[in-house]
Structure 1
């Protein structure tokens, strides 16, 4: 599948620039007793090697065997509406932690999106990824990811993400994410969002921008639709988190 080629190319580029690196963990059997429930799986990815080097529960959760699944496949099996954003967030965070020494050992990424299982059905999954091994400079060698099926939760279909790190790491990473949303809304929609954030009503926005109230209401519906949201507060939270508004 072409959808995951960018992740595969990223992994191959990392190997070219940093060299291969055999894990210090000679035996991943230490993870054999990692507790999982029926809605979870776990895997370890070595970015300077062949990709996923260990998994537990993958087939039970997704239907895929390890021979059918690697770092790039999580993108290929992502819902088409979520795929571009998931790909960009994944490449952004991997590039960040591969090239910048992470100061905080607790740095990790949370990412939720719709995932295609082998039986042809989609599940909403939450991926929790953290750095597992670092080189002498503090740059990531490998990470572990815990996948949990959260389809039972009543939630919207929007991709959600959160990156935990020290402030300097977080600022640098957010610059990557903000670029992804640069053209998410039109110039006019951004103007309206900023006025909504200032508590302007549709009528006041219409007067401010010399538009009809009906036009403003149409823009507001499109703003909600694009964010896959049902409330103004949620849209504003989404826009602030992703750098659409300050």
Structure 2
């Protein structure tokens, strides 16, 4: 972090978060990626990388990062990934990270390993064009003092679903946590749509986005298949969606996932 070429605009934001360790820590073990993949949405081509939050270095990259962005080698520092972000979206990304920090402080740092943050922004692809990506960040490791030292970031190209960035930040619980905190930073989403879905319907929507079938959702939530079908019909009706594809488009555009 002392190297000016490796500094990036998020360092200053992260330094305001009491849950992040400030000093460098170079060697970290790989997080349980198999478990984490189960918590992510991948409605399109995606990749992930492990981020060392103490020095912004990257490791354990998914190979798709090379293909999607036309890179010749794996990026070693987060600055290289941020440099792929559309210049007009940098300010939003910084505000989004500030919002995540505020919500994490409200939730409580002791719960930070059971949360996930997500939002969208444009990134440069191998074609040279900027396309919309869905960003998810899942904390994976604390040090002995409970300070965050590692996360895994997942980027999914959703340009084929929507090109509209909702400018919405979502902080949700994973595992036993049921948090669902949504902050609109642009005030252009359909507030009526957002308020119409119940907590259970939002939960089912997230599982639909993960690709789970009705019977699988019923098993996960310990519900009858009939109840899941009823919830799905209600979700489609409330969002004015004709099918799952249209539902996912509206869900991304309204920052529901």
Q: Does 1:42 align with 2:45?
A: no
- What CA deviation, in whole Å up to 9, does each residue of 1:173-227 have, x standing for no partner? 98xx68xx5xx6xxxxxxxxxxxxxxxxxxxxxxxxxxxxxxxxxxxxxxxxx72
| TM-score normalized with structure 1 length | 0.55
Shift of 1:79: 2.6
Alignment of 1:48-63 (within 5 A): 48-57=54-63, 58-63=65-70
Say if 1:233 and 1:29 are closer, same or farther in 2 by CA, change over 3 A.
closer
Q: How many residues align?
A: 183
Residue in 1 that maps onto 2:24: 20
Aligned-partner SS, 2:78: coil
Q: Which runs of 5+ in 1 are unaligned?
A: 185-225
**Equivalent residues of 1:11, 1:48 under 8 A apart:** no
Which structure carries more helix by proportion?
Answer: 1
Shift of 1:120: 1.4
Say if 1:69 and 1:95 are closer, same or farther in 2 by CA, change over 3 A.
farther
1:71 alignment partner, one of 68, 78, 85: 78
RMSD (CA atoms): 4.6
Matched residues in 2 for 1:79 and 1:21: separation?
30
Say if 1:69 and 1:115 are closer, same or farther in 2 by CA, change over 3 A.
farther
Q: Which has the larger radius of gyration?
A: 1
- What CA deviation, in whole Å up to 9, does each residue of 1:18-46 have, x standing for no partner? 32224441xx49759x9789711110000
| TM-score normalized with structure 2 length | 0.53
Matched residues in 2 for 1:130 and 1:140: separation?
11
Matched residues in 1 for 2:172 and 2:194: separation?
22
Q: Which runs of 5+ in 2 are unaligned?
A: 197-253
Shift of 1:140: 1.0
Which structure has more RCO (C-alpha within 8 Å, separation ≥ 6)? 2
Aligned-partner SS, 2:114: coil
